[in-house]
């Protein structure tokens, strides 16, 4: 059976894949978009609790992690949040800004998915889903391919065989396997000799050893605004106590940077000079727990007062004791035992090594015609719409080149 010919075959019909497809099709390329799932763009569907934090007004290279930190600059500069906002405006979709530049769609995630599908359909993109991939072949092994545009790729599926001059891998990472995440993209990279960086869950809750965490487990559900730091990275957002450890935006942010076996630093009272406050209260007969409860969640104040010190009136403490407590509340050093893993991670850190790709086109330097976009790459955004902006930008960059 002769393979069906298409200019561009994109594997993965998520955010990056659809953006690449509609961009390429608008340039007159014939595009086939293939996905193993029966449901379109599940990661968009569940994002932001179904409200879809589709970009961030503040998106800049500094908001992304990568072993090659300058790689994302070109794509982000050429497809900005304003470009995607213009698409929503065209479709009459309303959106609003929440904290820290995060933009959410008023009509929810389904409206974003419908908009992208409509754009793809209007541009003439062909769909093939649900459809797995049995085999990907090129006439010659990686490193022996022809010059110029390279040789065609042959993709065998249960629905038939396809031939394409450009093959785009937009299959995402390992996060949230229950909605279909697989290592497919990494296996393609391995097949064609494209190097990988180390993988780990990102934007994920952190856990602690049960014995160490026992005093705090009863705080599950308590939250407060805090500054969480690791190395040179700090985030001031909400922190949430859980039965097994810590979560909330501040923790999800720092989790992408955290290294196993090393402690985090947490400022539980970022707006207060505790040393000065204790000096002013030295003569007070107020119990330490009651004093702290004015500034911390009540249950946390009680645990600090009883576990970190003996809960006494403030005037019964030595100055050095209160000074030490103030320092600990401003710089609580605590070492996670691990994370909740890919099942609870919003993204995958690491991936296809971007040093093997063109930052302008997303094409592999050693395998002409092979492109990687979106989360499968070693480019990971911070929490707050940045990962979608990378999907749009990298998909657009490849779509302009395929």
pLDDT of residue 147: 47
| CATH class of the structural domain 4-200+346-399 | alpha beta
CATH fold of 206-339, please?
Elongation Factor Tu (Ef-tu); domain 3 (2.40.30)
Domain coordinates in residue numbering, the chain: 4-200+346-399, 206-339
- pLDDT reported for residue 148: 41
pLDDT attached to residue 376: 98
* Mean pLDDT per 10-residue segment, the chain (402 residues): 92 98 98 97 91 96 98 98 98 95 96 98 98 89 49 94 97 95 97 98 98 95 97 97 98 98 98 94 94 97 95 95 96 98 97 98 96 98 98 98 98
Q: Which two tokens stand for residue 373?
A: 């976009």
Q: 200-253: per-residue pLDDT in tens?
A: 999 999 999 999 999 999 999 999 999 999 999 999 999 999 999 999 999 999
Please tell me the predicted confidence (pLDDT) of residue 50: 87
Question: Cβ neighbours of residue 289 under 8 Å, at least 6 residues apart?
Answer: 301, 302, 304, 305, 306, 311
The per-residue pLDDT for range 95-110, each reduced to its tens digit, is 999 988 999 999 999 9
Task: Give residue 315's pLDDT.
Answer: 96
Pairwise CA distance, residues 62 & 51, whole Å: 25
Helix (H, G, I), strand (E, B) or coil at 268: coil
Please report the pLDDT score of residue 149 as a whole number: 42
Question: Six-digit token pair at 49?
Answer: 């609790």
How would you classify residue 50: left for phi > 0, otherwise alpha for psi between -120 and 50, otherwise beta? left
Which positions ≥6 away from 273 have C-beta within 8 Å? none
pTM: 0.94
pLDDT (0 to 100) of residue 138: 85
């Amino acid at each position: 059976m002769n393979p069906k010919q298409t200019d561009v075959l994109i594997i993965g019909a998520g955010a990056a894949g659809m953006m690449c497809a509609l961009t390429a099709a608008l340039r007159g390329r014939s595009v086939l978009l293939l996905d193993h799932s029966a449901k379109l763009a599940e990661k968009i569907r569940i994002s932001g609790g179904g409200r879809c934090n589709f970009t961030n007004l503040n998106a800049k290279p500094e908001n992304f992690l990568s072993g090659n930190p300058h790689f994302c600059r070109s794509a982000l500069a050429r497809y900005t949040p304003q470009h995607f906002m213009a698409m929503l405006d065209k479709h009459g979709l309303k959106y609003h800004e929440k904290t820290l530049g995060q933009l959410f769609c008023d009509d929810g995630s389904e409206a974003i998915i419908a908009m992208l599908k409509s754009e793809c359909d209007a541009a003439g993109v062909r769909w093939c889903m649900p459809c797995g991939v049995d085999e990907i072949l090129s006439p010659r092994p990686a490193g022996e391919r022809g010059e110029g545009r390279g040789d065609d790729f042959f993709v065998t599926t249960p629905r038939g065989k396809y031939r394409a001059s450009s093959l785009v891998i937009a299959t995402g990472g390992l996060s949230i396997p229950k909605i279909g995440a697989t290592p497919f993209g990494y296996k393609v990279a391995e097949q064609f000799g494209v190097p990988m960086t180390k993988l780990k869950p990102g934007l994920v809750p952190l856990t602690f050893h049960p014995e160490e965490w026992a005093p705090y487990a009863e705080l599950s559900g308590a939250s407060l605004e805090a500054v969480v730091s690791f190395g040179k990275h700090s985030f001031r957002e909400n922190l949430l106590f859980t039965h097994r450890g810590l979560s909330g935006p501040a923790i999800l942010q720092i989790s992408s940077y955290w290294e196993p076996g090393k402690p985090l630093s947490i400022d539980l009272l970022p707006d207060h000079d505790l040393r000065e406050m204790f000096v002013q209260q030295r003569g007070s007969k107020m119990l330490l727990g009651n004093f702290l409860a004015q500034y911390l969640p009540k249950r946390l104040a009680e645990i600090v007062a009883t576990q970190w010190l003996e809960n006494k009136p403030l005037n019964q403490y030595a100055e050095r004791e209160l000074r030490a407590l103030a320092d600990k509340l401003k710089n609580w050093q605590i070492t996670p035992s691990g994370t909740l893993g890919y099942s609870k991670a919003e993204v995958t850190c690491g991936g296809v090594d971007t040093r093997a790709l063109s930052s302008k086109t997303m094409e592999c330097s050693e395998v002409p015609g092979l492109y990687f976009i979106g989360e499968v790459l070693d480019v990971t955004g911070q929490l707050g719409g940045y990962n979608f902006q990378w999907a749009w930008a990298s998909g657009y960059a490849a779509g302009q080149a395929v």
